[in-house]
Structure 1
Amino acid sequence: MKTYKKIIIAAVLCVLGLGGALWLLRGNKVTEVAFKEPIPVEASYAKIGSILRRVHTEGKLSAIQTVTLRPQVSGRIEKIFFEEGSRVKAGDPLYKIEDSLYKAKVKEMEARLLEKRGNYERAAKLLEKKFGTPQERDRTFAEMRIAEANLEEAKIQLENTILKAPFEGVMGLSKVSKGALVSESVELANLVDLDPINIDFSIPNSYLPFVHEGDVVDVTIEDYDILPIEATIKAIAPELDEATLKIIIRAQMPNTELSYRPGEFARLLVLAGKTENAVLIPVSAIEREGDEEYVMLVVDNVAVRSTISTGMRDGDEVEIIHGVKAKDLVVTAGQFKLHDGDEVKVVNLEKSDEQKK
């Protein structure tokens, strides 16, 4: 009986001892949690300011004017005056078609006109002497005028045996060679005006009120230019592009060295005025998780996650459309280790709190 009581007393003492140990361990953990140090971060106050509307887009180069040359008369190519890829001026001869038949046609029409003019003059004199009739005079006059028109047509055809450049530009590759028989439907070569050169691009319709003819845009040709080239907006389309619902704009830039060619792609920077009274924060404050952008705000020394919508960016600053208000304190360094609800200590504002102003 005494042995049984000793066992019970020992068991009770063991339980009490284990409970005390657990209580002491739990107390240490609570103390550890209760005295956890705030996480040091750097922060900045959101401010109100203006920001440039910078629109980045892509475009494609196109020629100011281009034409596919075709003969206006048929015949055999007698001479080619240009070198492929060379510059030509407006009016320069390009192709010569054999003209012997056309010269003969002119002589024939000159002889016919001489005959018809003589007939008319005789009919007019006979009518003056009361031997002719007005009808005969009028008939011969009409025949004379037809002969004059036929002669003019023959001269034009003779002139068209020399095909001339309609404008200044660069000749393409000739599609025919000397001796080739050509007609009015045969393509001879392309002539392209390369200086200046067009850049066609598009921007969202919302920026249209801030872009005007005469504005300057920066152009960078892919794999070619290091520094951008200035181009001037020449025309803005009057309607939206049906496929993209954007506005198509055409700019022009110099191409004196003929370095750029139609079909090349370009990157453009369009300045579309300023946004006034915008909420601005440093770009370094923004974090991303999937498609979501967010910042960590400091509210009463506690980190609060806020999902944001961003607008324009200019250098190190970004416009906030939604999620941050002016004078909100935004974490700019150290936010990667924060969680919503963490206690924080802003270390860069201890000595100066002037950013609020």
Structure 2
Amino acid sequence: MLLPRNPNFILFMTRGIALCLISIGLLASCKNKKIEALGSKQSNPVPVDIVVASISPLPTASEFNGTVLSQESADLHSEVSGRIIYLNFPDGAAVSKGTLLLRINNSELLAQRKQAQIQKELSEKTVERLGKLLEIKGVNQADYDQAWSQLKSLESSLEVLDAQIAKTEIRAPFDGALGLRQVSHGAYITPSQTIGTIHSKNKVKIDFVVPEHILPKIKKGSQVQVYSSENEKSLTAKVIAIDGQINLNTRNATVRAELSQSGLTAGSFVKIVLQEKKQGILVPTQAVIPDAVASQVVLVKNGKGMMSNIETGYRTADFVEVTKGINQGDSVVVTGVLFVRPKSQVTVRQVKSLNDFMNLNTNKE
């Protein structure tokens, strides 16, 4: 089809085509400017704050439940049956070693001992007299030997009586505090009956159970902190023994510590805290990027941000121990972490210390 050769129509079409070409040129120019601006923006270094990784002491501690035991404890029983004629057993009283607490009727034994003592004294005089006669041949050796044998027999009888009399008395076996008295004056008691108890007070033992993996950290002579409702402040106890066998069912072992002048009551519950001396690399919690596969941190190397996979250990609200993935002296990004892309340019705004992050998360809460 032939277009009309109208001059006005040709002029109109020419101007329309020119306007289209100009519009396309303007759009292309704007697009190029946006791309250049975006590229310029992405090339700007990201400002970050860092901490320099260093070895720091880790305030690690392990807690265990413990039970207070008396250093010395005994149930008091009479060795013989009889009626109580003397009773000195105040409930809860402090007593010294050797204090007479109870005596059973032993009048018959005392009479026998008195008689044996008189016979012994008479026998001693006889032996002395026969010894002088033997020196001048006034008596034969057999008579002297018989008198000497009788003396030794009487001495043995006295020792037996003394032992029997001692069994009628109950004395404090060590310095300590008495428990509650279970008998009364004039009562007839037997060896199977408990008179009461006595516990030492100056020192106590504390038994606590620890897992198998903790045992290498505890040595004989190690110190542990003891916390109890009976004391406002912590007490320091010394480990005196470690059970040589691990329980096959629980994989735990019993540890025994000793505590002096504690004021703790036998049988009471205490909390044992074992302070572990350990060092490691700590970074602020906010520097760690959690991930389903592995946690990461951003390191600054040669002015660029580098992602590093890490393994963590001890953790608090403010800090995380990094056991793998960071070396001492590395620069770890602590602010601006989320704006750094792998191998992107960064600029260090400030070098901070771990103290700047102390109690930061705690205060936020």
* TM-score interval (norm. to shorter): 0.5 to 0.7
**Structure 2: gaps of 5 or more residues:** 1-30, 354-365
Find the aligned partners of 2:238 and 2:111 in 1 and give their Cα distance.
53
Q: Does 1:57 align with 2:39?
A: no
Find the aligned partners of 2:345 and 2:80 in 1 and give their Cα distance.
88
Secondary structure in 2 matching 1:188: strand
Change in 2 beyond 3 A, CA 1:196/1:127: closer
1:189-225 residue CA offsets vs partner (Å, 9 max, x unmatched): 21101233233445824325xx673x6543212x555
Q: Which stretch shows the higher mean deviation, 188-197 or 157-166?
A: 157-166
Find the aligned partners of 2:246 and 2:325 in 1 and give their Cα distance.
34
Give the alignment of 1:260-279 within 5 angstroms: 260-272=265-277, 274-275=278-279, 278-279=280-281
- Partner of residue 230, structure 1: 235
Are 1:295 and 1:331, in contact at CA under 8 Å, matched by a contact in 2? no
Find the aligned partners of 1:70 and 1:47 in 2 and give their Cα distance.
67
Q: Does 1:204 align with 2:209?
A: no
State which of 291, 308, 313 in structure 1 corresponds to 2:311: 308
Q: Which amino acid aligns with 1:242?
A: I
Provide the aligned length of Structure 1 versus Structure 2: 306
Give the alignment of 1:134-283 within 5 angstroms: 134-201=141-208, 202=210, 204-208=214-218, 213=221, 216-221=223-228, 223-227=229-233, 229-233=234-238, 235-237=240-242, 240-243=244-247, 244=251, 248-255=255-262, 258-272=263-277, 274-275=278-279, 278-283=280-285
In the TM superposition, residue 339 of structure 1 has moved relative to its aligned partner by 12
Find the aligned partners of 2:153 and 2:289 in 1 and give their Cα distance.
85
Q: Which stretch shows the higher mean deviation, 50-59 or 83-92?
A: 50-59
Find the aligned partners of 1:307 and 1:340 in 2 and give their Cα distance.
17
1:319-356 residue CA offsets vs partner (Å, 9 max, x unmatched): 32224334556565798xx799899998xx7532477x
**Structure 1: gaps of 5 or more residues:** 1-26
In the TM superposition, residue 231 of structure 1 has moved relative to its aligned partner by 1.1
TM-score of the aligned structures, taking structure 2 as reference length: 0.65
In the TM superposition, residue 79 of structure 1 has moved relative to its aligned partner by 2.9
Find the aligned partners of 1:41 and 1:94 in 2 and give their Cα distance.
83
- Partner of residue 350, structure 2: 352
Alpha carbon RMSD of aligned pairs, Å? 4.4
Which of the two has higher C-alpha Rg? 2
Q: Does 1:322 align with 2:328?
A: no
Secondary structure in 2 matching 1:158: helix
In the TM superposition, residue 116 of structure 1 has moved relative to its aligned partner by 3.6
Find the aligned partners of 1:105 and 1:181 in 2 and give their Cα distance.
22
> What is the percent sequence identity of the aligned residues?
21
TM-score of the aligned structures, taking structure 1 as reference length: 0.66
1:94-126 residue CA offsets vs partner (Å, 9 max, x unmatched): 112222122112123223324544554565455
Change in 2 beyond 3 A, CA 1:247/1:163: closer
Secondary structure in 1 matching 2:184: coil
Secondary structure in 1 matching 2:71: strand
Find the aligned partners of 2:95 and 2:336 in 1 and give their Cα distance.
65
Are 2:50 and 2:351, in contact at CA under 8 Å, matched by a contact in 1? no
Are 1:60 and 1:199, in contact at CA under 8 Å, matched by a contact in 2? yes
Find the aligned partners of 2:350 and 2:336 in 1 and give their Cα distance.
19
- Partner of residue 295, structure 2: 294
